[in-house]
Chain A
Amino acid sequence: MYAVELADLHIAYGKKIAVSGVSFTADFGTTVAILGPNGAGKTSTIETLEGYRRPNKGLVRVLGFDPVKDHRSLVRHIGVMLQNGGIYPSMTPKEAVRLFASYYDEAIDPATLLETVALDRVASTSWRKLSGGERQRLSLALALVGKPRVVFLDEPTAGVDPEGRIAIRQVINTLVSEGACVILTTHEIEEAERLADKVIIINEGHKIAEGSPWELREQATAWGKGIRIQVKGDLDTEIASAHLGIQMENIGNNSYYMHTEPNPEFILSLAQWLAQQGITLSSLETGPASLEEAYINLTWRKDDDL
């Protein structure tokens, strides 16, 4: 059984289509990141899995349950972190964690949990006086207190300082190593790359790519494993291609891409030719594009189709 299964999900708010035909599955012991720009349909998707929205169409299963129909059974086994806290402002982390612990059959010891998310020092400070990062970590703690098997985190590291991010990543990694399934949304590529075993990229309600961060880089870069250079000076791609016996493309911003294996012999002849032309090389990169390039490439390509 999959921890999470989503097939052909469609969500519309009146005439506005939020999600259109998204499908994916998630296994126990893995993290899946739903990545996309703001307004792509990430929150609509995750809130459907949490049982907050009834899909217009599509199959939704979390731990085998229908999140709307079997809501009462499901909520005992899932943990949820909403985008905007949802915590009583006058409560302290200690009180909030204790209260939420009382809702579940089995809960993590509140003191241990507060230590895990590094909130033990502000355990008696009211939510109102916590920093953005501390609020996010409290929200994460409340998602974990009931020992969930599936955890949904909507933008867990948004507005969190670097130290807080490390703490949150550690907590997520521990959770996954213990066999839980984590589904998170983010609009930051770096976060998805660091955290996820599988990334689902969605844009304007459509899934446009799916795979491990590494696979996505390879899939999404239209150019495969070639060489990218950035230069100072005028470079004629036709002359270069003819002289070097490869195909060179201008990819903008004084950058060029060459469809060839990055072997030392070729790089030597490239450097020699550039020297002859009086062109300065400011950068040379080999290997697949970064996930960021992949992402931008994918979301752009989508725009071109329209």
Chain B
Amino acid sequence: MISDPPATSKTTLVRWRALYSQMRAELVMTLRRGESIILTIGIPIAILIFFSTVKVLPTGETSPIAFLTPGVLALAIMSTSMVSLGISTGFERSNGVLKRLGSTPLGRPSLLAAKIQAILVIEILQVVLLSIVGLALGWQLKTASGIVLGIALALLATTAFSGIGLALAGTLSAETNLAAANGLYLVLLLLGGMVIPLSSLPSGLRIFSELLPAAALSQGLHYALGTSSGVPLHDWIVLAFWAVIAPTLAALSFKFE
């Protein structure tokens, strides 16, 4: 039997190098997928510009841009962590990439870590771009402390949405997963208070919507970035619930082949 060297500084170094290379590869491949860039950056910016210029949204006394900026940030986070991650992982599963990686020393924890890091880099890019566009269109950040709350909400939501995306990707065929992820995106876009205010929904539907992670994130961001009051406990609870349930479900059900 080959004696395996104990975890020396060299193997640790190799592990970090592998993780970094994998993260870079994930990032490069995401940026190469045109449809993914349209979904994660193009659509949110288009919605932000369109609905703040064409004033058709029932935003009440709030100006459209003040309502839209937090909503579109929520949409951007959902697009990356649920739809983009889910669809790409689904295809990697169906074309055998995940299986092939299973017989390399990369390991599943490092693969997952690399994917998470790549998502966070894209989200930072999205938030910066959308904030610039928002500010240019007249959006104002109410309090600096809102940024800290916003980051906490975004991280929690990323965990929840990644779990949902991976739960679908790990069980459905690539094509069904593609349809399911896009369908879910549309439903959550409409019911998530991202573009259409929750107050416009019929009360039954609204109660249902408020239990979904999309509405919890968008409402949370509206409070964190748009008001000086804190984020309602209700939104934290809903997001935390999904952030625990969805990844657990994904981990339990995920099939690598």
Chain B residues in the interface with A (C-beta under 8 A): 1-2, 4, 10-11, 14, 17-18, 20-22, 25, 28-29, 32-33, 92, 95-97, 99-107, 257
Q: Are B107 and A72 in contact (CB under 8 A)?
A: yes
Asked whether any CB of chain B lies closer than 8 Å to the CB of A233, the reply is no
Q: Are B96 and A104 in contact (CB under 8 A)?
A: no
User: Which listed residue (A63, A78, A86, A90) contacts B100, Cβ 8 A?
Assistant: A86
Stretch at the interface among A92-100, A167-175, A180-188: A92-100
Asked whether any CB of chain B lies closer than 8 Å to the CB of A103, the reply is yes
A85-B96 CB under 8 A given contacts A72-B105, A104-B105: yes
| Complex Cα spacing A88 to B97, Å | 6
Name which residue of chain A comes closest to B13, CB basis: A105
Asked whether any CB of chain B lies closer than 8 Å to the CB of A75, the reply is yes
Q: Are B103 and A99 in contact (CB under 8 A)?
A: no
* Extra contacts besides A87-B100, A103-B106, A105-B10 (10): CB < 8 Å: A65-B1, A76-B4, A82-B100, A85-B96, A86-B99, A89-B95, A99-B22, A105-B11, A142-B100, A149-B2
Q: Are B92 and A77 in contact (CB under 8 A)?
A: no
Asked whether any CB of chain B lies closer than 8 Å to the CB of A146, the reply is yes
Chain B residues with Cβ below 8 Å from A87 are 97, 100
Asked whether any CB of chain B lies closer than 8 Å to the CB of A140, the reply is no
Chain A residues with Cβ below 8 Å from B11 are 105
Asked whether any CB of chain B lies closer than 8 Å to the CB of A253, the reply is no
Asked whether any CB of chain B lies closer than 8 Å to the CB of A242, the reply is no
Binding site of B, secondary structure by majority: helix, strand, loop or mixed?
A: helix
Asked whether any CB of chain B lies closer than 8 Å to the CB of A227, the reply is no
Q: Are A102 and B1 in contact (CB under 8 A)?
A: no
Residues from 55 to 77 in A contacting B, C-beta threshold 8 Å: 63-65, 72-73, 75-77
Least CB distance from B49 to A in Å reads: 30
| Complex Cα spacing A155 to B175, Å | 27
User: Which listed residue (B14, B33, B92, B257) contacts A104, Cβ 8 A?
Assistant: B14
Chain A residues with Cβ below 8 Å from B20 are 102
A64-B1 CB under 8 A given contacts A90-B32, A104-B14: yes
Chain B residues with Cβ below 8 Å from A103 are 14, 18, 21, 104-106
| Complex Cα spacing A99 to B18, Å | 8
Name which residue of chain A comes closest to B99, CB basis: A86
| Complex Cα spacing A280 to B247, Å | 77
Residues from 130 to 148 in A contacting B, C-beta threshold 8 Å: 142, 146
Asked whether any CB of chain B lies closer than 8 Å to the CB of A91, the reply is yes
Asked whether any CB of chain B lies closer than 8 Å to the CB of A50, the reply is yes
Least CB distance from B92 to A in Å reads: 7
A102-B21 CB under 8 A given contacts A64-B2, A86-B100: yes
Name which residue of chain A comes closest to B104, CB basis: A103
Asked whether any CB of chain B lies closer than 8 Å to the CB of A1, the reply is yes
Q: Are A63 and B21 in contact (CB under 8 A)?
A: no
| Complex Cα spacing A136 to B198, Å | 53
Q: Are B22 and A73 in contact (CB under 8 A)?
A: no
Chain B residues with Cβ below 8 Å from A91 are 25, 29
Q: Are A80 and B14 in contact (CB under 8 A)?
A: no
| Complex Cα spacing A146 to B2, Å | 16
| Complex Cα spacing A76 to B96, Å | 20
Chain B residues with Cβ below 8 Å from A266 are none
User: Which listed residue (A65, A75, A82) contacts B105, Cβ 8 A?
Assistant: A75
22 contacts between A and B (CB under 8 A): A50-B103, A52-B102, A52-B103, A73-B2, A76-B4, A77-B2, A78-B103, A80-B103, A86-B99, A86-B100, A87-B100, A88-B92, A88-B97, A91-B25, A100-B104, A102-B18, A102-B20, A102-B21, A102-B22, A105-B11, A105-B14, A146-B104
| Complex Cα spacing A91 to B14, Å | 22
Chain A residues with Cβ below 8 Å from B104 are 75, 100, 103-104, 146
| Complex Cα spacing A51 to B104, Å | 11
Q: Mark A1-14, 1 if CB is under 8 A from B, else 0.
A: 10000000000000
Q: Are A90 and B33 in contact (CB under 8 A)?
A: yes
Name which residue of chain A comes closest to B8, CB basis: A105
Q: Are A75 and B103 in contact (CB under 8 A)?
A: yes
A99-B95 CB under 8 A given contacts A76-B105, A77-B2, A86-B100: no
Name which residue of chain A comes closest to B24, CB basis: A99
Least CB distance from A171 to B in Å reads: 19
User: Which listed residue (B21, B32, B105) contacts A146, Cβ 8 A?
Assistant: B105
Chain A residues with Cβ below 8 Å from B96 are 82, 84-86
Least CB distance from B193 to A in Å reads: 35
Chain B residues with Cβ below 8 Å from A102 are 14, 17-18, 20-22
| Complex Cα spacing A303 to B33, Å | 52
Least CB distance from A159 to B in Å reads: 15
Name which residue of chain B comes closest to A73, CB basis: B4
Q: Are A86 and B97 in contact (CB under 8 A)?
A: yes
Least CB distance from B4 to A in Å reads: 5
Q: Are A1 and B1 in contact (CB under 8 A)?
A: yes
